[in-house]
A and B are shown apart, each in its own frame.
Chain A
Amino acid sequence: MAKRKSIIKIKPRKYKVGDVVKVDFIVIHPMETGMRKDKKTGKIKPMHYINEVKFYFNDELFTTILPWETVSTNPYFSINMKVTGPGVIKVVYKDNLGEVNEKSKKVKPKG
């Protein structure tokens, strides 16, 4: 199983308990539509896209995104989250070929 690169960013960088922050998630993925031809072989490239992204905060699921192949290559998703205290954001993402990966980021509110 190929290990994919992904990033979670929290914006703004400094936040307090009770703030609503932006959580950006970017993953390096080809997001193949299944409609493009390989220029060298002339064969159609098989469909390969992320079809589920789940956001957890302290193991509590709070957002589910179901993307389709019409999302751009190296998909970027941004959602809001209310900070209720310190914890861990965990993102679990799957693609249509059954690849499952996850990424986590600590939440450290100040003040």
Chain B
Amino acid sequence: MSLFPFVLGLADDALILGHRLSEWSGKAPMLEEDIALSNLALDLIGQARLYYQYAGEIEGKGRSEDDLAYLRDEYAYTNLLLVEQQNGDFAATMVRQLLYSAFMLPYLQAMQQSRDTRLAEIAAKAVKEMAYHVRHASEWVIRLGDGTEESHQRVQTALDDLWMYTGEMFHVSDDERALVAQGVAADRAAIKPAWDSTINRVLREATLQRPKDGWMQTGGRTREHTEHLGRLLAEMQVVHRAHPGVTW
């Protein structure tokens, strides 16, 4: 595996989840949370920029971060299916954020030891941001789960619905395995115990039931997406595509 698709996958994960969170801007349940969600979105979009810039340099075809973000179609995106799922209600957004950030925090901690210094540097910056994402999402999931009957039901439903997209986070493709062997990529599969530990702790405190590990839906890394990504990209890319090269 060349480094390019690996870095592109990390970039796509961050951008798509960041864009999803940005969809809450102006309509979150309360002002404080509106700003909090925008902060989380900006963390992720900032991380995506660093990965896209690096990916463009690795590819060496002169593609900029904007080219990679705005001028690739759905079938060229390789983000995890989890991050493209719709926001749903606030509970679903927080559950998605918890499932992702509880993985990314230990993953980025491991990536700080990457033999690729650029990736190690990006991880060192992102790891602090991700620690806050875990904290924020955890606290909300705990309060919604251990809240009212309705909030408990909503957060449990979101957990049950999103669970089948969690398996993909730990899947190491044959190509990625080669990068793991070279000490460039962290081993996703090895992150599972840390993720389990965070998720179990939060769900216990939230009085939520951990769903059974059944069928796990994969496909994002191999460009087979759910129906939600195309609509997200259409909205995200429309300005850039309507006004190519526009700056402001």
A binds B: no
